[in-house]
Amino acid sequence: MFITRRARATRLVAGALALAGTTAALLATAPGAAAAPKVRTVTTVATPTQDTRAMWVWDTSTPAATVDLAVSTGIDQLFVAVPPNLATSTQLPNITTLSNRARAAGIRVDALGGDPGWVDNPAWVVTYWLKPAKSSGLFTGIHVDVEPYSTPAWSTNQATVVSRYLTLLDKLKASAGAAPIEADIPFWFNTIHAVASAGAASTLDREIMKRTAGVTVMSYRSSATGTDGTLDVAAPALAAGASLGKPVRLGQETNYLGATAVDTKQTFYGWTRSAMEIQLAQVNAGASAHATYAGLAIHDAAGYAAMTP
């Protein structure tokens, strides 16, 4: 029960491979041992800070290199992929090393997990994923990337999938204690109908925000401005976050997604980091008009590491 972008990231470790798949298509067509790193001040509270930057880490096999990348590029929060039953996982040593090194460098580390199938079995998720991750003591918060639109039932019974997804978030929040829950969402969740707790009509992006400490929007575009640019597609989520007082982070892609125009517009793959930074600066400048804009998130460590300066 641990697939989707996690499997894709594993394939990227060896190099740039073709990634045209369900998630990319949905996002494009939807509506609308190294030296110890330098010590920095630890950030432990998820507050809106517009110059912060996070990064997804799906592959935890190179903890030292990952933390060195984060330190050298100003990353101050990592979403680190955690398997079920962490205490007995073969990945525990690397995840422990990664977390300890990152936190020593002042980088916040959150447990990352998710699978479309989670919507159908939240009790399993709490018992076998959330509680082991929490009890490890390695993480500040919980970061989920469920992508419920990847389930077969999304096209046949969307309302039920939406309801189950929100129930999953409710159960995660109830079991997380003081650990903040954050969630990844596509930019188009403002077009998906959801029912608020009082029975009123609402949208899925807003209902997710109500149940979490903040969201990261998969606003994957290689152009910051203009029609269908990052700021354009992220505008509804930024506005919703501001109205609800919830932090909204904007995600940017660096991996190879394919060769079509639809694929390439979603990623900075093939760009230099310096060229990408020109666009990211424009994203920051435009999004900072929203009071709860919380900075950027880079997807992911493998793609980012492969970019040239």
For 235-255, write each residue's pLDDT tens digit: 999 999 999 999 999 999 999
In the structure encoding, which two tokens stand for residue 266, read together? 């979603």
pLDDT of residue 166: 98
C-alpha span between 6 and 301 (Å, rounded)? 12
* Main-chain phi, psi angles of 112, to 5 degrees: -110, 130
Query: What mean pLDDT do residues 245-269 have?
Result: 98
pLDDT of residue 26: 42
pLDDT of residue 51: 75
Structural domains in the chain, sorted by start: 5-12+49-306 (3.20.20.80)
Query: What mean pLDDT do residues 298-307 have?
Result: 98
Residue 81, beta-bridge partner list = 112
In the structure encoding, which two tokens stand for residue 54, read together? 């996070």
Query: 124-131 long-range CB contacts below 8 Å, 24 or more apart?
Result: 124/1, 125/168, 125/171, 125/172, 126/171, 126/172, 126/175, 128/84, 128/85, 129/82, 129/84, 130/172, 130/175, 130/176, 131/175
Residue 285 has pLDDT above 90, yes or no: yes
pLDDT tens for 44-103 read 334 455 679 999 999 999 999 999 999 999 999 999 999 999 999 999 999 999 999 999
> Residue 181: in which H helix or E strand, if any?
strand 181-186
Residue 17 has pLDDT above 70, yes or no: no
- On whether the CB atoms of residues 147 and 6 are closer than 8 A, the answer is no
Residue 3 has pLDDT above 90, yes or no: no
DSSP helix/strand/coil, 251: strand
pLDDT of residue 197: 74
pLDDT tens for 87-103 read 999 999 999 999 999 99
pTM confidence score: 0.86
- On whether the CB atoms of residues 116 and 4 are closer than 8 A, the answer is yes
Lowest mean pLDDT among 108-112, 120-124, 196-200, 280-284: 196-200
Query: What mean pLDDT do residues 207-226 have?
Result: 98
User: What residues have CB less than 8 Å from 70, skipping those under 6 apart?
Assistant: 55, 76, 78, 102, 105, 107, 301
pLDDT of residue 258: 98
